[in-house]
A and B are shown apart, each in its own frame.
Chain A
Amino acid sequence: MMAMGNLGRAVRTLRAVLGPVLGPVAGLQLRLLSSSTQHELKKTPLYEFHLEHGGKMVDFAGWSLPVLYTDSLITSHLHTRSKCSLFDVSHMLQTTITGKDRVKFVESLTVADIAGLKDNQGTLSLLTNDSGGIIDDLIVTKTSDGSLYIVSNAGCMQKDMAHIEERLKVFQGARYDAHMEVMDHALLALQGPAMAKILQPGLNGNLSDLPFMCSIVTSVFGIPDCRVTRCGYTGEDGVEISVEQTNAVQLAELLLNNPDVHLAGLGARDSLRLEAGLCLYGNDISEHTTPVEAGLTWTIGKRRRQAADFPGASVILEQIANKPARRRLGLVSSGAPARQHTAILNKEQEPIGEVTSGCPSPCLKKNIAMGYLPTGCAKAGTPVLLEVRKKLVEAVVTKMPFVPNNYFTGP
């Protein structure tokens, strides 16, 4: 085990015991949390709530968040897939874009066909740069109240804000009407097959009328003005609830009243999304990966491809036409798990790619990983080798998701 140095009893972290090869939480090192460091980290409205419930806090993108509570990671993960888990995801950036030309503005930054969305429908989309790289992935919802609601990654917050503000200045300078406002709300994710049964008693409307990726504003168990969006990061049926900060703890406690709801942290969040084949920005996608390489071509609306009117369009469209040189693929292996930066070798032991994220899969009881490989190796079933701790481990290219998705497709 790694040396812990002079840790006092007050310092209970995972980082000190974990070796340098850390399973990434968004590729960011778990930082040692001394009691002084805690003060430098941002806190969500549920910070004290997490401590009260036995949350083990870590630094994630400058926020103090629980990586797990009293359940082990495997228990928490499996509970989400069989019942329901509650996650605090308030660290993510929530913004609202308003103004007559809001759709035109956000389309100028992303690959989404926002005009083609139905009212209150959302979609996963990507902010791209002029080289076709991905600045961030986000969910944009076209609300019926005159705004676009965007949720993006905490780790990209400063970058995204600077980018959007700069483009907004230019847009406004050209006499268009658009405005951005950062929302100061908490965000709770309730994920798992039991979600609908748990949440329905707290709603006036019928959850079966809320399709996947759609959003409504409603009261939840008496807490007013909650935006409930049927989406998530686990592959299960679930919602994300945006709630005023002052009501966040009360809402969390009300949801936790149901014994089927367990609290879950960043650790389970990461293993769940990996099983679901979902990308983690900073690991699986970055400014150096295009949507085509990442297998996210589907996020580019057909109309947008035809118009070629998004940043990096020339690079991206060329890759769509002629196939990219490399692709993001799934890998399954046994033995020592491959994590980020593990080298992928072909049968001749020549390096051909790199793992971008990986972990043991609690559901499959095997190791799963994502990595980029030459397009020629893209076929499911292709055997490769992974170099884990100087030993070669056999792996197989596998289609994702590793565990089937359970998104709500209708009543």
Chain B
Amino acid sequence: MASCRVLRPLVAAVLFRVGAHSRPPWNAMSLLPSLCRGFSTNTLTAAARKFTDKHEWVLVEDGIGTVGISHFAQESLGDVVFCGLPEVGDKLHFDGEFGALESVKAASELYAPISGTVQEVNAALAENPALVNHSCYDEGWLIRMTVDDLSELDTLMDEQDYEKIYRH
């Protein structure tokens, strides 16, 4: 439906350009499937943050995926002191290890939620790795990457499903 093509990105724009500490109102998003029945994911904009079972999230907008870790992950990890991230141009493969976050107590590897090429690495994290703890969905983003295969997103969890398992 043509109206969906307009509606979905608009909803995304409204819902996802939110501040660092608020969350997308998923109640509104859950209405969309009934409005956009049969809407495929084959557009450049997927309007939902998706989660891996390894606690990374990816948000695809205009063909670029922003990647970070979940609130549950940052809280469990504790104070992040160092972010070991890839370089611009690195090719990442779905579920492949692409870096690690170091906290006082431990290190935890990062796994690519989708396949693609790194376009940008969050430079703010070099000076302020604690952004991952304080703003894991916003200023604490880790990398931005191209999206080789949008259908990989279909294998990931919606925020609702992720929260059902890992909400505290």
Q: Are A337 and B107 in contact (CB under 8 A)?
A: yes
**Contact A336/B106 with A2-B54, A3-B54 known, Cβ cut-off 8 Å:** no
Kindly list chain B residues whose C-beta atoms are within 8 Å of the C-beta of A77. 104
Q: Are A72 and B106 in contact (CB under 8 A)?
A: no
Chain B, Cβ-Cβ closest to A20: B109
Kindly list chain B residues whose C-beta atoms are within 8 Å of the C-beta of A68. 78
Chain B, Cβ-Cβ closest to A339: B107
Per-residue CB proximity of B110-149 to A under 8 Å, as 1/0?
1100000000000000000000010000000000000000
CA distance A257 to B119 in the complex (A): 53
**Residues of chain A in range 316-348 having any CB-CB distance to chain B below 8 Å:** 335-337, 339
Q: Are B167 and A9 in contact (CB under 8 A)?
A: yes
Would you call A157 an interface residue if the criterion is a C-beta within 8 Å of the partner chain's C-beta atoms? no
CA distance A3 to B73 in the complex (A): 11
Which residue of B77, B102, B104 contacts A336 across the interface (Cβ within 8 Å)?
B102
CA distance A22 to B100 in the complex (A): 12
Kindly list chain B residues whose C-beta atoms are within 8 Å of the C-beta of A1. 52, 54-56, 69-70, 73, 77, 108-111
Would you call B24 an interface residue if the criterion is a C-beta within 8 Å of the partner chain's C-beta atoms? no
Which residue of B76, B102, B105 contacts A73 across the interface (Cβ within 8 Å)?
B105
Q: Are B105 and A336 in contact (CB under 8 A)?
A: no
**Contact A362/B104 with A7-B165, A9-B168, A17-B76 known, Cβ cut-off 8 Å:** yes
Range of interface residues on B (Cβ < 8 Å):
20 to 34
Q: Are A271 and B109 in contact (CB under 8 A)?
A: no
Would you call A353 an interface residue if the criterion is a C-beta within 8 Å of the partner chain's C-beta atoms? no
Range of interface residues on A (Cβ < 8 Å):
35 or more
Kindly list chain B residues whose C-beta atoms are within 8 Å of the C-beta of A22. 105-107
CA distance A68 to B69 in the complex (A): 21
Which residue of B56, B78, B109, B133 contacts A14 across the interface (Cβ within 8 Å)?
B78
Majority-rule SS of B interface residues: mixed
Kindly list chain A residues whose C-beta atoms are within 8 Å of the C-beta of B111. 1
Q: Are A360 and B55 in contact (CB under 8 A)?
A: no
Majority-rule SS of A interface residues: loop
Would you call A23 an interface residue if the criterion is a C-beta within 8 Å of the partner chain's C-beta atoms? yes
Kindly list chain B residues whose C-beta atoms are within 8 Å of the C-beta of A67. 105
Q: Are A19 and B105 in contact (CB under 8 A)?
A: no
Which residue of B52, B54, B79, B167 contacts A72 across the interface (Cβ within 8 Å)?
B79
CA distance A185 to B82 in the complex (A): 40
Would you call A4 an interface residue if the criterion is a C-beta within 8 Å of the partner chain's C-beta atoms? yes
Would you call B84 an interface residue if the criterion is a C-beta within 8 Å of the partner chain's C-beta atoms? yes
CA distance A92 to B82 in the complex (A): 33
Q: Are B109 and A2 in contact (CB under 8 A)?
A: yes
What is the CB-to-nearest-CB distance from A50 to chain B, in angstroms, rounded to a whole number?
A: 17
Kindly list chain A residues whose C-beta atoms are within 8 Å of the C-beta of B70. 1
What is the CB-to-nearest-CB distance from A393 to chain B, in angstroms, rounded to a whole number?
A: 10
Chain A, Cβ-Cβ closest to B129: A360
Q: Are B108 and A73 in contact (CB under 8 A)?
A: no
Would you call A155 an interface residue if the criterion is a C-beta within 8 Å of the partner chain's C-beta atoms? no
Would you call A21 an interface residue if the criterion is a C-beta within 8 Å of the partner chain's C-beta atoms? yes
Q: Are B77 and A17 in contact (CB under 8 A)?
A: yes
Q: Are A14 and B105 in contact (CB under 8 A)?
A: yes
Kindly list chain A residues whose C-beta atoms are within 8 Å of the C-beta of B106. 14, 18-19, 21-23, 30
CA distance A72 to B134 in the complex (A): 12
CA distance A19 to B102 in the complex (A): 10
Would you call B156 an interface residue if the criterion is a C-beta within 8 Å of the partner chain's C-beta atoms? no
Chain A, Cβ-Cβ closest to B106: A18
Kindly list chain A residues whose C-beta atoms are within 8 Å of the C-beta of B104. 23, 73-74, 77, 267, 271, 359-360, 362
Chain B, Cβ-Cβ closest to A25: B105
Most A Cβ at <10 Å: residue of B76, B105, B168: B105
CA distance A305 to B55 in the complex (A): 56
CA distance A114 to B37 in the complex (A): 83
Q: Are B81 and A14 in contact (CB under 8 A)?
A: no
Q: Are B100 and A389 in contact (CB under 8 A)?
A: yes
Q: Are B76 and A19 in contact (CB under 8 A)?
A: no
CA distance A95 to B54 in the complex (A): 45
* Further 7 A-B residue pairs, CB within 8 A, beyond A18-B107, A18-B108, A270-B105: A4-B54, A19-B109, A21-B109, A336-B82, A336-B107, A337-B82, A360-B103
The 5 A-B residue pairs with the shortest CB-CB distance, nearest first, are: A1-B55, A17-B76, A18-B106, A19-B108, A360-B81
Q: List 6 A-B contacts (CB under 8 A).
A: A1-B56, A20-B109, A21-B109, A23-B106, A73-B79, A391-B84
Residues in chain B within 8 A of chain A (CB atoms): 52-56, 69-70, 72-73, 76-79, 81-82, 84, 100, 102-111, 133, 165-168
